[in-house]
Structure 1
Amino acid sequence: MPLFPTSFIDELKTVADIVAVVSDTVPLRKMGVTYKGLCPFHGEKTPSFNVNPDKGFFKCFGCGVGGDVIKFVELRDAVGFAEAVKTLAARVGLAVPEAEGQKENEAAIAERESLLKMHEIAAAFYRALYDTPAARRAREDVEKRGLTPETVQAFGYGYAPAVAKDAFNPELLATFPRELVLRSGLAILRDDGRVVDRFRNRLMIPIHRDSGPVIAFGGRALDKDQIPKYLNSPETPLYTKGRTFYGLHLTRPAIRQKGFAVLVEGYFDLAQLWQAGIQNVVASSGTALTPAQGRLLRRSTSKIILSFDPDAAGQGAAARSSEMLVAEGFQVNVALLPEGQDPDTFVRTEGGAAYADRLKASQPYLDYLLDRAAARHGIFAGSKAEGRRTFLTEMLAVAATIPDAAARDQFADRLAHKARITEDVIRQEIRKAAVRKTVEVPAAVRHRTPLRQAEAGLLWHLVRDPEVG
């Protein structure tokens, strides 16, 4: 039987949503944290077939069959392991690597286990130092944010020492090969040939796989002139930033219970919300999301409330993330915060209850986009004819990309309300644009910012189901 890299199989099982795969064959009903249906492998009238998306397993309590998502495809399609892997990989868009020989696969497994052990050692080392006098600045930084010892313990914060004599990499070098220590991302090679710790004088924040183990770190600078402000682990055989969510290992149960996830940018955004009792939250670590992250999150929920910084960078990331999330089938809302505040600072100053109110008042993404465009052109302030004309032209150009007639009509209603023009006129113009397949687009639209490019691609998706419960 061909052998695939363990890392590939792990990734495949992570991104292949077992509920979605099983639902292709078995109608499932949500029952608490699991799903239930009639077993496809034996005849029954009372459902005894269970799917647990948290664990990624299925089990029939009638006939006893069970396994992971790959095993389900094997049984469903009556194929072998390799064929089931290829079927799943094609479904989720993963390239199947060349099958490996036994020795190569065993070597990859051994390397992975060694890297996990290194990160376990590093996390324990940093955590132990957090309570020492040398880590006073790190503790002050955390205490200034109002984070409690219980929160520190839950997230495993630690301290990377400032001086070389206190470094931990000699312990790694005494246990693991030099090249493997460098591949771990925990150490770097200096020009003089010395292997030194990557992280110095930083508050250390462990990053976990969604299944639990530490696979990387984020290090926050403790000196004002220390750059970069945040230093993250490089990508390694364990860690790919675009396939990882910060905090998901802790927050997945709450996401399932609440039925939606709050998506924030930063480590401390997440910690503040978690401490305030809003625990259905994950962090993107300051970057726009990838489809792989979308598929990972899809195992827990299909509803997202974005809560990014209100500055231009944060809103640009919100637009790019929303574009991906909608393409992956999510319902997306946007929670707006006052200028100059992020979730961390807002919760510190206003409290968790006030933030929860912001979540309740979150806008469907379509409404958010229309409001931004209307504000940009002064529609709410009695804009001049030129501003209204530009606003309508932009929105009609967007509407021309909506392939569904019913969705276009819904969009027309909202656009008419914003522009204070009759719905019939708007619908007529949208239909003309749709029939022509093209529309005269002004320079302002041709040269869109990334946010406005995202708007054009998103509107027709979101108009169909804007509600986030």
Structure 2
Amino acid sequence: MYYPEELVEEIRERNDIVEVIGTYVKLQKKGSSYFGLCPFHNEKSPSFSVSPDKQMYYCFGCGAGGNVFTFIMEYENYSFPEALKYLADRVGIKLPEREYSEEEKRQQDLRMQVLEINKMAANYFYYQLRTESGAQAMQYLKSRQLDDETIKRFALGYSSKYSSNLYQYFKSKKISDELLKESGLFNVDEKNGMYDKFWNRVIFPILDVNNRVIGFGGRVMGDGKPKYLNSPETIVFDKSRNLYGLNIARTARKKYLLVCEGYMDVISMHQAGFSNAVASLGTALTEKHATLLKRYTDEVILTYDSDDAGVRAALRAIPIVKRAGLRARVLHMNPYKDPDEFIKTLGAEKFQERIDQAENSFMFEISVLERNYDMKDPEGKTSFFQAVSEKLMEFEQELERENYIQAVAEKYHIGFDNLRKMVNRSAMRAIGREVPKSAVDRERKEIRKKSQDDGMKQSQRLMLTWLIDKKGLYAKVKPYLDADDFTEDLYHQAAQLLFEQLEKSELNPARIINHFEDPETQKEVASLFHAKLNLQSQAEFDKALNETLRKIINNSIEFRTKNMNPADIAGLQKILLDRKKVQDMPKITYQM
């Protein structure tokens, strides 16, 4: 639903960001800002800053940043409407009701009813585990060395050996068969009618990141088939979009997430203190899973079984997580089969050592590739290095590729130059011709250009930060600088909004963030207002200010010159005037 900007701004202004974040993070005032340990990554020294003046937060360690809406969206995994409602409720503002279509109302009502049925079922299973009929299931969990606290934390339960008990329970609550069918908890056939999908099983409730029960997994007692059974897709459950244990792992605030294969691996790892473990739900890791992981971390450690199936699963997962922008490492558990077995045998401390030693995903792929070759045979060894050289071509950037060539060369004692020559020959064969020397030169130029671009972005970030932090600076640079001088698209949009505010003397950087809907974009905009440059004296600042201002204007002139229509006489005249203006620009001073 669309809410008026004035209402959104009122809700933001009524929710002081220091107070809101202070309920989640212990903050300590330092100067004009508050600092604490970042809730979005693992750190020992506080780099998480909350500014009451800007009504923004920013982490100088991981780059997380935004206004009070962004924080609630990121921390609670809320959509913007959910964050808006949460903050409106917090300060007693009633949001206008949205007009839903009849179909939307029906679907929303159905979702809420299915969630309620799931909650009732979870409570029912939880109770059954603690009855006499659940003794076998409880004994099974105890045999897996789970303590009472862990069993409670994961709300583990039991479905009795009779396939109609849950159905009869719901019928006693006067719930219709039509609604029960939508829940995915029951099967229906002509012979038996409606009966329980889960019976004689240990039950693992599946919760989403907002701690709502969306489905169930069940492990059979005895030798029944299948050994593990999961809820089917329902209106509230999509197994490709959810991960078991993520509701807990997302609050662990570790710098990585451990991705494993099953319920018991997650549970035993959490019990051992590794509360950042998650697992996919009876399916291989998907693109949607990887996108979900990216919301909470930049690195995953694949903690799959050490058997052939686990190795294949890791090989399938590596390109998926990389495409999502995640770093990937692979944990080795040999000679043990899975995390559960490893931890029970060697303990949590040894398991942490294995985590610390987790292998770079590319090097893991190489080590698996090695198994296909006889490394004692000269021909087999040569074929292996040929295959490796072709795989090293995956890295497009020369610097990254050479780093990996060096790592592989050191591991296999082949010699850096020898392996690099093989990679170059593979590249030549791949394109069917010699790679000209100019190709290397072009790549080096591209690296230099990227460095220059990064330097220009930093200059523009510094100027935007100074314009917010230093009252009166805008008046001094206004004759020479305008929003069009910020050539990066996002920087230009932010500069336009900021300059409009400065013109009206209504500086409000937190409001600027509200103009951008995507949390990642909000995070990037926040970074534009938190650039840092360590300057010790007035002279240093004046020098940096003038150099930065000239750099931005000259870059703008160069950008417009390259992109100008030759027939645009007015544009050409403005460029000439701007060149003259920057040449004649006096030294600008600003009292720090």
2:334 to 338, 347, 369: 338
Q: 1:54 aligns with which of 66, 75, 79?
A: 75
Q: Secondary structure at the match of 1:271?
A: helix
CA distance in 2, matches of 1:164, 1:150: 29
Q: What is the distance in 2 between the residues matched to 1:428 and 1:279?
A: 45
Aligned match of 1:157: 156
**Structure 2: how far apart are the matches of 1:157 and 1:216?**
13
Q: CA deviation at 1:347?
A: 1.1
How far the C-alpha of 1:411 sits from its partner, in A, is 2.5
* Residues 50-101 of structure 1, C-alpha deviations (whole Å, 9 max, x = no match): 432122469xxxxxxx966899xxxxxxxxxxxxxxxxxxxxxxxxxxxx96
2:56–2:67 CA contact under 8 A, matched in 1:
no
Alignment of 1:267 onto 2:263: yes
CA contact (8 A) 1:287 1:317 kept: no
- The residue type equivalent to 1:275 in the other structure is Q
| Residues 1:430 and 2:423 aligned together | yes
1:39/1:296 Cα in 2 relative to 1: closer, same or farther (>3 Å)? farther
Q: Does 1:421 align with 2:418?
A: no
**How far apart are the structure 2 equivalents of 1:37 and 1:429?**
52
> Identity of paired residues, percent?
27
Shift of 1:177: 2.9
Paired residue total? 373
1:340-392 CA distance string (max 9 Å, x none): 5211111112211121111111111122222233354344xxx1111111101
Counterpart in the other structure of 1:121? 120
Instruction: Give the 3-state SS of the residue equivalent to 1:200 in structure 2.
Output: coil
TM-score (structure 2 length as normaliser): 0.58
Distance 2:391 2:57 in 1: 50
How far 1:268 sits from its partner (Å)? Answer: 0.8
CA displacement 1:302-324 (0-9 Å, x = unmatched):
11111100111111111111211
- Written as runs of structure 1 = structure 2, the 5 A alignment for 1:96-107 is 102-107=101-106
- What does residue 312 of structure 1 align with? 308
Structure-1 residue corresponding to 2:405: 412
- Taking the aligned partners of 1:182 and 1:165, their CA distance within structure 2 comes to 14
Q: Gapped runs of 5+ residues in structure 2?
A: 3-34, 41-47, 59-64, 86-98, 433-592
Superposition CA RMSD, Å? 3.1
Q: Deviations over 1:207-249 (max 9, x none)?
A: 001110111010101012x000001111111111110100111
Residue of structure 2 equivalent to 1:33 = 39
Q: Is 1:240 aligned to 2:246, yes or no?
A: no
Matching residue's letter, 1:146 = Q
Give the whole-Å Cα distance in 1 for the aligned partners of 2:56 and 2:191. Answer: 70
Deviations 1:100-153 (A, max 9, x none): 961010000000011001101100111111011111110111000110011110
Q: Is the 8 A contact 1:158 1:204 kept in 2?
A: yes
What secondary structure is seen at the aligned counterpart in 2 of 1:402? Answer: coil
Would you say 1:389 and 2:382 are equivalent positions? yes
Query: What is the rounded CA distance, in whole Å, between the counterparts of 1:166 and 1:401 in structure 2?
Result: 56
Give the letter aligned to residue 67 of structure 2. Answer: F
Instruction: Report the CA distance shift for 1:70/1:423 in structure 2 as closer, same or farther (over 3 A).
Output: farther
Kindly indicate whether the alpha-carbon contact (under 8 Å) linking 2:56 and 2:66 is maintained by their aligned counterparts in 1: no
**Corresponding residue for residue 219 of structure 1:** 218
After TM superposition, the score normalised by the length of structure 1 is 0.72
Q: Using a 3 Å threshold, how does the CA distance of structure 1 residues 44 and 142 change in structure 2: closer, same or farther?
A: closer
Higher Cα Rg, which structure: 2
For structure 1, list consecutive stretches of 5 or more residues without a partner in the other structure: 3-28, 59-65, 72-99, 440-469
Take 1:269 and 1:230, find their aligned partners in 2: how far apart are those partners? 14
Aligned equivalent of 1:325: 321
Q: Which moved more, 1:308-317 or 1:335-344?
A: 335-344
- 1:235-285: CA deviation from partner (whole Å, max 9, x where unpaired): 11111111010011122111x2x2111111111111111111111111123
Q: Decide whether aligned partners of structure 1 residues 420 and 43 sit closer, same or farther in structure 2, where only a CA change above 3 A counts.
A: closer
